[in-house]
Structure 1
Amino acid sequence: MNFDLGEEHRILRDTVREFAEKEIMPYGKEYDESGEYPWDILKKAAKLGYVAADIPEEYGGAGMDYLGCAIIAEEFARADSSIGSAVLTASLGCPMVRYFGTDEQKERYLPPVVKGETPSAIAITEPDAGSDVQAIKTRADKVDGGWKLNGTKTFITNGSISDWVVILAKTDPNAGYRGISAFLVETDWEGYEARRIKKMGLNCHDTAEIYLKDVFVPEDYLIGQENFGFYQLMRFFNESRVFVGAVQLGMAVGAYERALEYAKQRKAFGRPLIDHQAIQFKLADMWKDIEAARLLVYKSAWLIDQGKANPALSSAAKLFASEAAVKVTYEALQIFGGYGYSKEYDIERFYRDVRVGTIYEGTSEIQRLIIARVLAGKLKF
């Protein structure tokens, strides 16, 4: 077994890090306070092929493997927890279109995301349906020439700024998860409304509640097969959870590196913090958890590239990396002491931003449930 990155991935990591330290890292506080979406940084990243990097070249993408995408995610989030993850999530709606969309859908909707002209979105969660996807109430009723969508979606990343959104809706209300379909909806269509949600962290992210009122969707805007939306979504989650794990890993690395540097400079009782055993133990545990998280994330990404995506391992990568990131940022803030609680230092922002990682894209509880079901033989892959 060889755990070293190949030359191509090492060059990618170094190049992305250089970009992120120059174009992302200096502006975290500014965008956190303004709450504005980082459009200019999105466009710069897109020019270098870092947005939706796994999209095939025929649609304008870099055609990168998933390990490469994980490396980009780690480096962007390391540079800044908020801007980095905002730019990274521009591609959220792309996998459903890429894997299950028609040629016409791919040709029309993927290139603008790759170019940084618009982020994309996928709308699953509802006010009364978070982890329980089959409980969604948004309905798609058949009418002449297509469907009419009615319902409410909430906590939708890019829901009020994206040009298009993938909407999961019930096409057969009596069939549970077997009656869900995915639709491509343009946000300027009549009946689509979105309201931005204020949050604890990730302030420059757009997170919205979406209202669908008799939104007409032409029949050729169905993504994949009717009533197969849930199965398509499971394919989406196998990859997206690894991606989230990589983002959380990057946040942990960013917090750790800042704490390590601060511990070398700050003095207490006449010597640097890092000379005190209590601080050494914290840093050792932080480093240990980061290394373990990276192994899980990278292995999961590598399996995806081998065509052997493992839902248990994808869930484990997301679960461990997100929980490790919460612990690492907690200890990093503790090392900073009172300064860590002030907005003068990045760690305060990292601490707020990292917390949602154990909730979105499936809570920690759901990840444990998935792993347990695989172990019990109740979930096949």
Structure 2
Amino acid sequence: MNSLYFTEEHEMFRKSFSDFLQREVVPHIEKWEKTGTIERFIWKKFGEMGFFGINYPEVYGGMNLDLFYTVVFLEELQKIKSSGFAAAMWAHAYLAMTHLNAEGDERIKQEYLAPSIAGEKIGGLCITEPFGGSDVAGMRTTATKQGDKYVINGSKTFITNGVYADYYVVAAKTSPELGNKGISVFLVDTNTKGITATKLDKLGWRASDTAEISFDNVEVPLQNLMGEEGKGFPYIMQHFALERLIMAVNAHARAEYALDYTLEYMSHREAFGTTINKFQALRHTLVEHATEIEHCKLFNYVTVARLNKGEYVVKEATMAKLKSTKVADLAIYDCLQMLGGYGYMEEYPLARLLRDSRLGPIGGGTSEILKEILSKMIIDNKNYKPVV
């Protein structure tokens, strides 16, 4: 136990959550990976156990716990051979629901946040667009005010839970002429007329439901505006720190899982009269990866601790995701190699881990975009500030 960040209560939660995953989730993983559909009963079970409400207010059914419980939640989800299932859970709990909690009014929190914590409603965050990718400011989706409603037109893509969701948190331009200062955030029920969701066929994350969403004259009431009109961009940027940290934690956790699995395999696999964990070239490769993973993990923990105190950690979270996702990809690639032909077989976890891990440097802002953001902060002395 890393006592600097995790208490005995954290570790008790880890054991409880791990047991829950093994009992309630793992028996269904292969079916969900093949069908690409996670059955709704498991969302309800997560809700009943309080796993969606870890760091949300008690008044809405949450537990109001610190972010290291969230770290435990994320780390354990990476150990069940389905990053797609993990993504569906954390995208609901920490992408869509984060906006409900931060920008939603009391009505939205009662009607959407509370049922989301209970696992009765599923949410999706709609920011990325087909022509925009990581360029949030370049979005083309518009929301035009017409009387007592906004009319949304445009499309979003790569939306996790895009088909499962009961509601979307949608970013759209209310004043396109103002660029990133004209973006607003809306709550949109998925059963609203004019919405079409098309499921995408992916390399990895097969269990998760990723979709392209089109909005054709979708009408939402004025009260579904979340926060202030025109403040959408800083809201999104502020929450990106948490999203990037989540993806960084996911990365170090799956890399650590891959390494542990590979070390166990190598301790039994024999070649030339000895177990292959005795071969120097293989040993040195693995300890290099172990060192990189440990560095990432500790940096991620430090950054989580700072965010938990309310500090603005956009730079550090961006660094964490950039480094951790790269380290995970390289480590998992070499771990698969250590298993030889078996690493290429679907019955072993490394093949799926390799595919699933590859999304790390792409989702939540590509590594190339993150490098440019960091360049502006480090080289150009740009100072991003929190919403006030």
CA spacing shift, 1:4–1:168, aligned 2, 3 Å: closer
For residues 305-351 of structure 1, give each alpha carbon's deviation from its aligned partner in whole angstroms, at most 9, with x where no partner exists: 11113111111111112111111110111111111111111111111
Which residue of structure 1 lines up, in the alignment, with residue 274 of structure 2? 271
Work out the CA distance in 1 between the residues paired with 2:102 and 2:233: 14
Which residue of structure 2 lines up, in the alignment, with residue 320 of structure 1? 323
TM-score (norm 1): 0.95
Mean Cα displacement is larger for which, 212-221 or 109-118?
Answer: 109-118
**AA in 2 matched with 1:49:** G
CA spacing shift, 1:107–1:246, aligned 2, 3 Å: same
CA spacing shift, 1:49–1:221, aligned 2, 3 Å: same
Work out the CA distance in 1 between the residues paired with 2:53 and 2:78: 15
**Aligned partner of residue 242 in structure 2, secondary structure:** helix
Listed as ranges, the matches of 1:52-131 within 5 Å are 52-80=53-81, 81-91=83-93, 92-131=95-134
Which residue of structure 1 lines up, in the alignment, with residue 42 of structure 2? 41
**Aligned partner of residue 212 in structure 1, secondary structure:** strand
The CA deviation at 1:16 is 2.4
The counterpart of 1:337, out of the listed 337, 340, 353, is: 340
**AA in 2 matched with 1:355:** R
**Aligned partner of residue 383 in structure 2, secondary structure:** coil
For residues 167-222 of structure 1, give each alpha carbon's deviation from its aligned partner in whole angstroms, at most 9, with x where no partner exists: 11011111110000001000000011101001000011010000100000100000
**AA in 1 matched with 2:213:** I
For residues 262-312 of structure 1, give each alpha carbon's deviation from its aligned partner in whole angstroms, at most 9, with x where no partner exists: 111111111111111122112212211221121122111111111113111
Work out the CA distance in 2 between the residues paired with 1:353 and 1:52: 26
Which residue of structure 1 lines up, in the alignment, with residue 384 of structure 2? 380
2:362 equivalent to 1:359? yes
**AA in 2 matched with 1:15:** S
Which residue of structure 1 lines up, in the alignment, with residue 142 of structure 2? 139
2:227 equivalent to 1:217? no
**AA in 2 matched with 1:31:** W
Work out the CA distance in 2 between the residues paired with 1:27 and 1:191: 34
The CA deviation at 1:368 is 1.9
**AA in 1 matched with 2:55:** D
Mean Cα displacement is larger for which, 231-240 or 73-82?
Answer: 73-82
Which residue of structure 1 lines up, in the alignment, with residue 353 of structure 2? 350
The CA deviation at 1:4 is 4.9
Mean Cα displacement is larger for which, 300-309 or 160-169?
Answer: 300-309
Work out the CA distance in 2 between the residues paired with 1:287 and 1:23: 31
2:314 equivalent to 1:311? yes
**AA in 1 matched with 2:220:** V
The CA deviation at 1:2 is 7.0
Which residue of structure 2 lines up, in the alignment, with residue 203 of structure 1? 206
The CA deviation at 1:236 is 1.1
**Aligned partner of residue 364 in structure 2, secondary structure:** coil
CA spacing shift, 1:43–1:256, aligned 2, 3 Å: farther
CA spacing shift, 1:209–1:260, aligned 2, 3 Å: same
> Identity rate of aligned residues, in percent?
34
**Aligned partner of residue 79 in structure 1, secondary structure:** coil
Kindly indicate whether the alpha-carbon contact (under 8 Å) linking 2:5 and 2:68 is maintained by their aligned counterparts in 1.
no
Kindly indicate whether the alpha-carbon contact (under 8 Å) linking 1:38 and 1:204 is maintained by their aligned counterparts in 2.
no
CA spacing shift, 1:70–1:309, aligned 2, 3 Å: farther
TM-score (norm 2): 0.94
The alignment yields a C-alpha RMSD, in angstroms, of: 1.7
Work out the CA distance in 2 between the residues paired with 1:10 and 1:338: 36
**Aligned partner of residue 42 in structure 1, secondary structure:** helix
2:303 equivalent to 1:300? yes
The CA deviation at 1:20 is 2.9
Work out the CA distance in 2 between the residues paired with 1:165 and 1:266: 48
Work out the CA distance in 1 between the residues paired with 2:73 and 2:41: 18
The CA deviation at 1:69 is 0.6
The CA deviation at 1:25 is 4.1
**AA in 1 matched with 2:133:** G
Work out the CA distance in 2 between the residues paired with 1:287 and 1:26: 30
Kindly indicate whether the alpha-carbon contact (under 8 Å) linking 2:266 and 2:277 is maintained by their aligned counterparts in 1.
yes
**AA in 2 matched with 1:57:** E
